[in-house]
Amino acid sequence: MDDFAKPAEDLPGDNPFTKVPIEITVSVGQARPLVRDLLRLKPDAVLTLDRKVDDPVELYIGDKLIARGELEELDAEQGGQLAVRLTEVADLKSGL
């Protein structure tokens, strides 16, 4: 990814936009079932994705790829909360 860079320096805290929450979508893979197979899906069906468990995941804001990382499980004793450890981060200084 050409637009990926080293970690950014601290951002200025005086800009009010830095405190606005933003939604990030994590893509773990894709499936391309036939429509007939999709219509037959029932609870407990398994939809096979194009990636393996240890493959990198991609993080998006809208349709813009902003990072890649690895899925992790945080504190398995408290219900197995999922998280992403970032391995590559896009240089977003020029905008999304």
Domain ranges of the chain: 22-90
Class for the domain spanning 22-90: mainly beta
What share of the chain has pLDDT > 70, as a percent? Answer: 81
**Tokens, residue 46:** 């398994």
Work out the number of other CB atoms within 10 angstroms of the CB of residue 58. Answer: 19
Higher local confidence (pLDDT), 84 or 93: 84
Q: From 20, 88, 94, 91, select the one nearest 57 (Cα to Cα).
A: 88
Q: What is the mean pLDDT of residues 63-74?
A: 94
Predicted confidence (pLDDT) per residue in 20-61, tens digit: 999 999 999 999 999 999 999 999 999 999 999 999 999 999
Contact in structure between 72 and 84 (CB atoms under 8 Å): yes
